[in-house]
Amino acid sequence: MRRKPFISGNWKMFKTVDEAVETAKSLVSVVSGQNARDIMIAPPYTDLFPVYQEIKNTNVALGGQNLHFEKQGAFTGEISADMLLSCGCKYVIIGHSERRQFFGETDETVNRRISMALESGLIPVVCIGENESEREEGKTNSILDKQMKNGLKDIVVKNGQELIIAYEPVWAIGTGKTATPEIAEESHAFIRETIQGVFGEEFAQSTRIIYGGSVKPGNTAELMAMPDIDGALVGGASLEAQSFAEIVNYTEKS
């Protein structure tokens, strides 16, 4: 089955409103002809609404970098699904390794956030991945299995709803060390099997599993040539419109 490539940019804690609007404007102009791929950018919260003004009615969609699992309440510093939706978000990144590493995110909180995203009509982009020592100790698959099973526990995906999984080996994020296409493919295939176990064959075949970790214009095509790699979650190289556009517009290997 052919899955439409999903190329997404995570701007993390970079860009003021002016900078974000400027980048979004340039990006829209260079990717406007690209309809063979789904494109998303996830700017910081303060940039969401102004960036949306630039990208609405274009082929670039908006995503949040996180969301809280309650609808609203006394949760200082958090953001709700409705707030993201009201800024024009269609997607939301959940469980990024930086959230897990620095902000105490666990599989259980990831699970609750996924549930809230789906309930609210946001498409979750759920990040999983092993760290360097886990890989060296041969624990990659057991870590992915645990993150998937606990993260997706009791999650119900209704007809027509989508869920995207981002495989991001922690040792490859922001380090310049990309997983080789073969290493990434092995994990992607394993993740697809796990999805099949949880949600069944049809859902597993239609789910996009994207790769993240030092994706650049120069390595996108070879990663995307792998059968189970359906897109990219790009950090550093998504901050410049030109380099992100080159990733979006990668040339398919025949």
Q: Which residues are catalytic?
A: 96, 168
Least spacing, CB of residue 62 vs ligand PGA, in Å: 16
> How far is residue 128 CA from its own chain's centroid?
10
Q: Smallest gap, in angstroms, from Cβ of residue 95 to ligand PGA? A: 11
Which 47-86 residues touch ligand PGA, going by CB under 6 A? none
Q: How many CB atoms are closer than 10 A to CB 61?
A: 20
- Residue from 194, 210, 236, 244 binding ligand PGA (CB under 6 A): 236
* Phi/psi of residue 53, nearest 5 degrees: -60, -30
Segment contacting ligand PGA by CB under 6 A, of 16-24, 83-91, 152-160, 167-175: 167-175
Q: Which two tokens stand for residue 152?
A: 């997706």
Structure tokens at 75: 């949760």
Q: Exactly one of 215, 223, 224, 245 binds ligand PGA (CB under 6 A); which one?
A: 215
The least CB distance from residue 123 to ligand PGA, in Å, is: 16
Output the furthest CA–CA distance in the chain (Å, rounded). Answer: 53
* CA atoms lying within 13 Å on the CB side of residue 5: 23
How does DSSP assign 210-237, residue by residue? Answer: EEESS--TTTHHHHHTSTT--EEEESGG
* Residue number with the smallest Cβ distance to ligand PGA: 235
Q: Under the criterion CB under 6 A, does residue 210 sit at the interface with ligand PGA? A: no
Rounded distance, CA 24 to CA 47, Å?
10
Residue from 89, 231, 235, 246 binding ligand PGA (CB under 6 A): 235
Residue 126 sits in the site that holds ligand PGA (CB under 6 A): no
How far apart CA 57 and CA 182 sit, in angstroms, is 37
Q: Which residue has the tokens 């099973």?
A: 149
Residues 147 and 126: beta-carbon distance below 8 Å: no
- Residue 109 touching ligand PGA (CB under 6 A): no
219 in contact with ligand PGA (CB under 6 A): no
129 binds ligand PGA (CB under 6 A): no
Q: By C-beta, is 63 or 212 nearer to ligand PGA? A: 212
**243 token code pair:** 């380099």
How far from 110 is each of 70, 166, 250, CA to CA, in Å? 12, 13, 31
34-42, 105-113, 196-204, 227-235 -> range binding ligand PGA (CB under 6 A): 227-235
Instruction: Provide, rounded to whole angstroms, the least separation between the CB of residue 110 and ligand PGA.
Output: 15
- Residue 180 C-beta: closest distance to ligand PGA, Å: 15
Q: Which residues bind ligand PGA (CB under 6 A)?
A: 10, 168, 173-174, 212-215, 233-237
